[in-house]
Chain A
């Protein structure tokens, strides 16, 4: 069996995910604070602090724990006949997409990605899109071109 894919995402992905994690943590922390405030008067202390503690734990997870784990798990490889992707936090998923089935390939950049010089490569099959997120801008362009070229050759077979 082919070895598992080797290439990693750009290290700045961790930073980007920390930032998005922080953004997501804000409403969670607010909700937790509100919950605690509401319970403060009504329930014993050890119950009232639960929402806030829970929210804090979630925030810590989102900002400090998950991003590096996610980055560690994300692997990809572009082979002549297929694209090999492996990703996931708890459930690790490996997907192989035959080059002959790829219809077209794009790069996409959100505002945060632009600031950090990152790009996402999206390639489409008839069954829907697949993506390789958070690659350096130049790497993304290379990957996109490589896939486009290999798709063409695969069709000519």
Chain B
């Protein structure tokens, strides 16, 4: 019995596709590091022939280096099963060997990325029980046959060494819930409205420009371009807006390319995978989700689109997240999507109780007030024809009315649904039992009119998130606070 346990098989290499994967991995890393300096160098050299050739040469060198490293890496990687353990040897310069006793192996899974699918190989992941430093060993490329042989050998070894002889099952693969198509990725980028990136890029570029001592060039540049006429200014503004837009699209593509939401086979975890060059993976335990938000951005709402975000709480060492559950989908599908992804949050997102109509005026006034206050000095100085500045208050008041219209709330079974508009119209679903606190507040004006502001707090990331609905009837607010309480028996973990 012990002799057969020691058998196993001798050293084996990965499938040659492993070379390609290793090379690709190296290239990915280098692109991330070299992109910005490369672009900066191009600009510095004013896109001259010499600089272009230099950058190209460096790019070629990186590719060649990655290919060579890929081959070396492949040659240095071997695995074997012997002496009752799984061994993996790795490393070109720093050689390392990992040994995993067969008894500690929890499961052997196969995964396929794009490259693996293309070449019909699989990635094998051997998961070890008990976590530790590296809870899993990965063999990036094995032929299906080799993978099968490995699994069988590991199972046989376990049986032979007297372990509980379950066949090392393949963990059933997670169910893909929704994938972001390329078209929707671009739409998401076009409608994301993230101008902030553009601003920080402009700042960054201007700093780099300074550092690269381009001041002279820039001065001549701006001398020639300096807008003298109104149309030139408008053109410049338009150019900036276009630039910001391009950057927003680029940013979204980099961060959300290939966005895939899947659920683990045991139904307890949601997995998010996204990213063009660096792949980000986030796991959200369903039991730790505190609130789900459907966000209809200003640029998305007119097209009936929305994004879904999730707030989750941490536990012990896991950190909570506040992150995107899905970047873009039609608003009509949001309800169904939430129901599928997190069934306990499945609730009707329509049929919300609106705010009382008499409150409309307050919303309009509240929005117009800052504009009026800000323009008062100007009005006083330029009286009387400056009264036209008051017209500026009109769009502000309109915004206030839009906020009133967007507001709504409901309590469906155990789920609180709140809808409000800050800039984007946001609908929040939070189960009553997960609320960290609830309450209402009454200002002197509200007291006079019998109104109140409802506020609830949920846990989010490593802190909290508060959601408020202003100007409900005070009886409705008090009633909601009552019904949101833990009185009614609900055993919440």
Residues of A within 8 A of B (CB): 1-2, 81-82, 85, 88, 90-101, 125-128, 130, 157
Contact = CB atoms under 8 A, between A and B. Distances in A.
A95 B491 contact: no
A93 B463 contact: no
Contacts of B481: 1, 94, 96
Nearest to A98: B486
B437 A127 contact: yes
Contact of A100 (B313, B442, B482, B492): B492
Query: Interface size class for chain B?
Result: 20 to 34
B479 A94 contact: no
Nearest to B315: A126
Contact of B437 (A2, A88, A125): A125
Interface string B459-487: 11001111000000000001101100111
A101 B437 contact: yes
B368 interface: no
Contacts of B482: 1-2
A82 B486 contact: yes
Nearest to B434: A101
Contact of A91 (B443, B460, B492): B443
A124 to B, nearest CB: 10
Contacts of A99: 486
Contact of B438 (A88, A96, A100): A96
A2 B439 CA distance: 13
B460 A127 contact: yes
Nearest to A130: B437
B437 A93 contact: no
Contact of A94 (B441, B463, B466): B441
B443 A125 contact: no
A125 B458 CA distance: 10
Nearest to A126: B459
A94 B440 contact: yes
Contact of A125 (B441, B459, B478, B485): B459
A96 B463 CA distance: 18
Contacts of A1: 478-479, 481-482
A128 B458 CA distance: 10
A95 B478 contact: no
Contacts of A128: 436, 457, 463-464
B482 to A, nearest CB: 5
Nearest to A101: B436
A42 B372 CA distance: 30
